[in-house]
Structure 1
Amino acid sequence: MKKFLITAITALTLTVSSTAFAQDTAKAPTPAYMIGSYDIRDEAGFQKYIEAAAPLVRQYGGRVIVYNPGPKPIVEGEPRSVIAIAEFPSLAEAERYYNSPEYTAARKFFTDSTEGWRIITEGADLPQQ
């Protein structure tokens, strides 16, 4: 009976350990971000962009995590009038959004109504403490 109990406990420990190891090695994709800093030159055109693009962000798995018209510089430099960040589950999803036919059409409203820059980048894949 004692030998059976030790064998059962060992088997259970190995099962739990291997499951935990498999979960640790199956990392989620690194999130990606579309980051922009721009000035709005044409409010009506920019509003068309927002109406066309906002639902697409959600459709492609993203969410706007920062939209700040009128940011104040805290450290250094002069920001543009708007800072915006949209987060996507992965770089592939962000690129799928950006290159989609729907966003390509909406993007024209953005480029015609703003001046500034936007980038798509992966986030940091740093160990969490």
Structure 2
Amino acid sequence: MNKGYLIAHVTVTDPVAYAEYARAAGEVMQGFSPKIIAWSGQYENLEGESHEKHVVFEFDSFDEAKRFYDSPGYQAARLLRAGAATGIFVLVEGQEG
């Protein structure tokens, strides 16, 4: 089965509110056990819209990544991000081997 990836590029505009979102989202994420592939280390924006934070989470499948994003817990956490950050969130299906 192909892995699923949640990729987020974010610029924080309200660090206090964003920290609350990150805490709430992290609690929900524990039930889905994704692997963190990349997390806001060194980066170079080569093209397109630039953001200050980048994260890639690997889930067991695309459906599992979508189930996390659509979950009531994450959707509640997502409301905390409104007004605290701007960004792009994408779900991508990976390829095996």
Q: Shorter chain as normaliser: what TM range?
A: 0.7 to 0.9
Which amino acid counterpart does residue 122 of structure 1 have in structure 2? E
- What secondary structure does 1:83 align onto? strand
Whether 2:91 is the aligned partner of 1:123: answer: no
Q: Percent identity?
A: 25
Structure number with greater Rg is: 1
* Superposed displacement of residue 59, structure 1: 0.6
- What secondary structure does 1:80 align onto? coil
Aligned residue pairs, count: 96
Post-superposition CA distance 1:44-75 (Å, at most 9, x none): 11101111011222211313322206x4317x
How far apart are the structure 2 equivalents of 1:43 and 1:84? 17
Taking a change above 3 Å as real, the CA distance of residues 48 and 39 of structure 1, as seen in their structure-2 partners, is same
**Residue of structure 2 equivalent to 1:113:** 84
**Residue of structure 2 equivalent to 1:39:** 11
More helix by share: 1
Task: Point out where structure 2 has 5 or more consecutive residues left out of the alignment.
Answer: none
- What secondary structure does 2:37 align onto? strand
How far apart are the structure 2 equivalents of 1:87 and 1:110? 21
The normalised TM-score by structure 2 is 0.86
**Residue of structure 2 equivalent to 1:26:** none
* Superposed displacement of residue 41, structure 1: 0.4
Q: Is the 8 A contact 1:57 1:64 kept in 2?
A: no
Deviation beyond 3 Å, 4+ runs, structure 1: none
**Residue of structure 2 equivalent to 1:59:** 31
More strand by share: 2
Matches within 5 A, 1:19-34: 29-34=1-6
User: Please, what is the CA RMSD of the aligned residues?
Assistant: 1.8
How far apart are the structure 2 equivalents of 1:107 and 1:122? 22
